[in-house]
Structure 1
Amino acid sequence: MIPTFVTDRARWPLATAGAVLAATAVAVPAHASAPLPALTPRAETPPLHDDEAGGNSDADDPAIWRNDADPDRSLVIAAVKEGGLRVYDLDARPVQSVAPPPAPGPDDAPGRFNNVDLVHGLRLGPSRADVAVTSDRGHDRLRIHRIDPARPGGPLTDVTDPAAPRVFSADQDEVNEQATAYGLATWTDRATGRSYALVSRRNRTAVALLELTGTATGSVTYRKVRTLELPSAFRLPNGATWTPCAEPGELPQVEGMVVDPANGMLYAGQEDVGVWRVRADLTGTPKLLDRVREFGVPGEYDEETEECVPGPDPGYGGTRLSADVEGLTLLAEPGGDGHVLVSSQGDDTFAAYDRELDEGNEYEGGFRVTAASTTLDGSEECDGAAALDKPLGRRYPHGLLVVQDGRETPAAPDREATGFKFVDLAKVRKALDD
């Protein structure tokens, strides 16, 4: 499986069974079948509601910003779709709400912030600043917000260049089809100092590399460097060709992504397939590290129920992840130790893989985030996660893990709710070390 590069796009042939199965032959440790540890959160954000009364806010993806001058005043910045961005303090209390841009026309979609990540020390005019970079699925653009904790009215200020281009779409008609910017991770190349966003495309297999650049006026724009297309079809050992079941016209998309800054490797979760590893500059050959349990299971889309009806399982799937693969984050300890953490949405668990490339990113265990009390519940159907393994003041001296909860305890009857849970990172380390 050697990709062929053209101008800005890498294309893949049909993935062969030998390549796929060899890439996923990760040794299963003896404790893999044991019950996973249950970790409890320390705090949770107020519930968000995806309805008119709740501002169409739907929790999705968090990022953790450390205030180096005062770690106790560090922040969690979260994408909440049509609700825009929310900023929380370390007690999970709201600090700021940032609305997405409005729809450009009466028949167009409004802004919809899907994923968020941070860039530290990006040059903005004559100075440097930390920024939050967000994928705006509604407009097929990136939005960039400067972070200033001393700013009156809230720490985030929109510094997106008004001329910043669409990521994938040629015009507004294509934007309205919603095959737009979706998942997102940032990366600063240590060799060059240049900063990038890696952005996936909704209902497609594409991942684009965008270079972020500051303008003389202090705004931020971006340009596309290249695009990688991951496989959408896989040849199985029984000779069949398998494509994950989806609504007609949709391909298996990527959302959760994270880059290991130590080695410049991108880890990308193709939701119905598994976890890929590839160079963050999108060159080289992607490797499928692990598969979802549903890998290879045939399915037929039922238009009446808008669901896929699965067929018999041929037994080619993995043992640790259940579709969808969602939030990915990095627990990066000094010396190359640490883990790539992956949200296994289908069974409400988190899987941890070693960061060591020469050891094949071995699976090293997992955990659940469960209720701490009748009022502080756990994380279910998790969409996004972020870890920061630096001291964050008196509340989290060992670091913090923030995970999305797709089924937050409702604040009112018959009303769906989402939110975020804050977990002491010391609990995560202990669970993975035991």
Structure 2
Amino acid sequence: MTNRPSAALCATLLLGACAATATEPPLAQRIANAAPATTVTARGETAPVGTPNADAADDPAIWRNAANPAQSLIVGTDKKAGLYVYGLDGKTRDFLDAGRVNNVDLRDGVTIEGRNGILVVASDRNDVAHAKLALFRLDPATAKLSALGKVDAGAGEAYGICLYRAPEATYAFVVLKDGTVNQIALDTSGAAPSGKIVRTMKLGTQSEGCAVDDRTGILYVAEEDVGLWRFDARPTGSIAPTKIAAADGKNLVMDAEGVAIAPMGEKDGYVLVSSQGDNAYVAYRLSDDSYAGRFRVVDGAIGGSEETDGIDLMLGDFGPGYPGGLFVAQDGHNATAAQNFKLVAWDDIVQALGIDR
């Protein structure tokens, strides 16, 4: 989330306190100007993060337990304090004090200290001048995180992070706050992790959210005030970006934030991006980058989500509560409690948008 005051906050402050955003239309106008959005409701939510009265919760990552889907886990960041692990019931299973970790991603089946495991990587911004990646192992039996170490990620402030499982290696893409994207080859096979920057890409302004489609080797990055881009994720590929969608205030309302992928078949599916400026989410087809629809998570038995930063999405069996898959969105305004994450069934989104499942 950017540091702009929210519409709700501005309503409670003196006019002068929000003068910095005078050129930005109020939320009601942004919603009115945007393309129509359908609605869904959350089926679950996590416990609030531990940092109250602050922009703290930021980004989730999903691990699906194929043997027992109901025991799947969600890792989420409190960017002021560390990493949480939640069950699908929303209860906190673990917390690890990792300081200022902003975004998080994970991959299963990675060789960690000589055996396969679940690798969790967070963008570490404890030193804003020198980006690092903080690496962890997630134990699926205990839902506990254990720190593996840190890897240098280049000069600048670490912001976004996403992982790519290629045939030859596991790569991390760290998105620095200025729009620089460093691709880092990770080695977690030994006693301590290591990493090497294999190439660098660049967007023009502040960027954060990203996701990689492991099937096709395509990286998607959100440049907050500009739009959604894709890159070739292969280390030998072109470093030139291709714009998928502009943050034009219609389909995508700046800030463009979290990014997630719904893979279908060999190369089809959707890429979703958080349209933070009007509390919505936008879907684009992976096959041709075309617009597929937009939706909001609104109040129901569980509250909706607003001003969302990070999102994650995984298709597959998550038990009867989340048919089709699980979509997780950070909620920037969780009633009177600290921020948390909302859980939505993928089938509910598919039905609302009228898209292919």
Q: TM-score, normalised by structure 1?
A: 0.70
> Is the 2:261–2:271 Cα contact (8 Å) retained in structure 1?
yes
SS in 2 for 1:76: strand
> Is the 2:112–2:119 Cα contact (8 Å) retained in structure 1?
no
After superposition, give the CA deviation of every residue in 1:162-187 in whole Å (9 maximum; x if it has no partner).
xx443123xxxxxxxxx311101100
> Is the 2:152–2:195 Cα contact (8 Å) retained in structure 1?
no
Aligned: 1:222 with 2:195: yes
Q: How does 1:88-237 map to 2 (within 5 A)?
A: 88-100=86-98, 111-139=99-127, 140-151=131-142, 154-160=143-149, 164-169=150-155, 179-190=156-167, 192=168, 194-202=169-177, 204-217=178-191, 219-230=192-203, 232=204
Kindly report the root-mean-square deviation, in angstroms, between the aligned alpha carbons of the 2 structures: 1.9
- Identify, as 1 or 2, the structure richer in strand: 2
Aligned residues: 318
After superposition, give the CA deviation of every residue in 1:255-314 in whole Å (9 maximum; x if it has no partner).
010111121011100001111111013632211111112xxxxxxxxxxxxxxxxxxxxx
In structure 2, give the amino acid aligned to 1:210: I
Q: Which residue of 1 aligns with 2:299?
A: 371
Q: Which residue of 2 aligns with 1:258?
A: 211
Q: How does 1:16-415 map to 2 (within 5 A)?
A: 35-48=36-49, 50-51=51-52, 58-100=56-98, 111-139=99-127, 140-151=131-142, 154-160=143-149, 164-169=150-155, 179-190=156-167, 192=168, 194-202=169-177, 204-217=178-191, 219-230=192-203, 232=204, 252-281=205-234, 283-284=237-238, 285-293=240-248, 319-356=250-287, 359=288, 361-373=289-301, 376-411=302-337
In structure 2, give the amino acid aligned to 1:122: V
Name the CA distance, whole Å, in 2 between partners of 1:50 and 1:117. Answer: 21
In structure 1, give the amino acid aligned to 2:216: N
After superposition, give the CA deviation of every residue in 1:189-237 in whole Å (9 maximum; x if it has no partner).
13x2x100000112x12000011102432x422111111122x2xxxxx
Name the CA distance, whole Å, in 2 between partners of 1:166 and 1:180. Answer: 12
Aligned: 1:420 with 2:351: no
After superposition, give the CA deviation of every residue in 1:36-67 in whole Å (9 maximum; x if it has no partner).
2110001112233645xx8x781100011011
5+ unaligned residues in a row in structure 2: which ranges? 1-32
In structure 2, give the amino acid aligned to 1:168: G
Please identify the structure whose Cα radius of gyration is greater: 1
SS in 1 for 2:57: coil
Name the CA distance, whole Å, in 2 between partners of 1:395 and 1:381. Answer: 25
In structure 1, give the amino acid aligned to 2:37: L
CA shift for structure 1 position 336: 2.8
C-alpha spacing 1:165/1:95, structure 2 compared with 1 (3 Å): closer
After superposition, give the CA deviation of every residue in 1:358-403 in whole Å (9 maximum; x if it has no partner).
x3x1001110000113xx2111000010011010123224211000
Name the CA distance, whole Å, in 2 between partners of 1:320 and 1:429. Answer: 18
Name the CA distance, whole Å, in 1 between partners of 2:104 and 2:202. Answer: 22
In structure 1, give the amino acid aligned to 2:152: R
Name the CA distance, whole Å, in 1 between partners of 2:264 and 2:188. Answer: 30
CA shift for structure 1 position 93: 1.0
In structure 1, give the amino acid aligned to 2:304: G
After superposition, give the CA deviation of every residue in 1:55-83 in whole Å (9 maximum; x if it has no partner).
x7811000110112221100000111122
Q: Which residue of 1 aligns with 2:29?
A: none
> Is the 2:306–2:333 Cα contact (8 Å) retained in structure 1?
yes
After superposition, give the CA deviation of every residue in 1:136-165 in whole Å (9 maximum; x if it has no partner).
1113211111121224xx4211112xxx44
> Is the 2:51–2:78 Cα contact (8 Å) retained in structure 1?
no
Q: TM-score, normalised by structure 2?
A: 0.84
Name the CA distance, whole Å, in 1 between partners of 2:144 and 2:354. Answer: 36
5+ unaligned residues in a row in structure 1: which ranges? 1-31, 101-110, 170-178, 233-251, 294-317, 412-416
Name the CA distance, whole Å, in 1 between partners of 2:224 and 2:314. Answer: 24
Q: Which residue of 2 aligns with 1:176?
A: none
> Is the 1:57–1:83 Cα contact (8 Å) retained in structure 2?
no
C-alpha spacing 1:75/1:165, structure 2 compared with 1 (3 Å): closer
Name the CA distance, whole Å, in 2 between partners of 1:371 and 1:130. Answer: 34
> Is the 1:82–1:112 Cα contact (8 Å) retained in structure 2?
yes
After superposition, give the CA deviation of every residue in 1:17-39 in whole Å (9 maximum; x if it has no partner).
xxxxxxxxxxxxxxx98632110
Name the CA distance, whole Å, in 1 between partners of 2:50 and 2:281. Answer: 25
Identity %: 37
Name the CA distance, whole Å, in 2 between partners of 1:210 and 1:328. Answer: 19
Aligned: 1:433 with 2:349: no
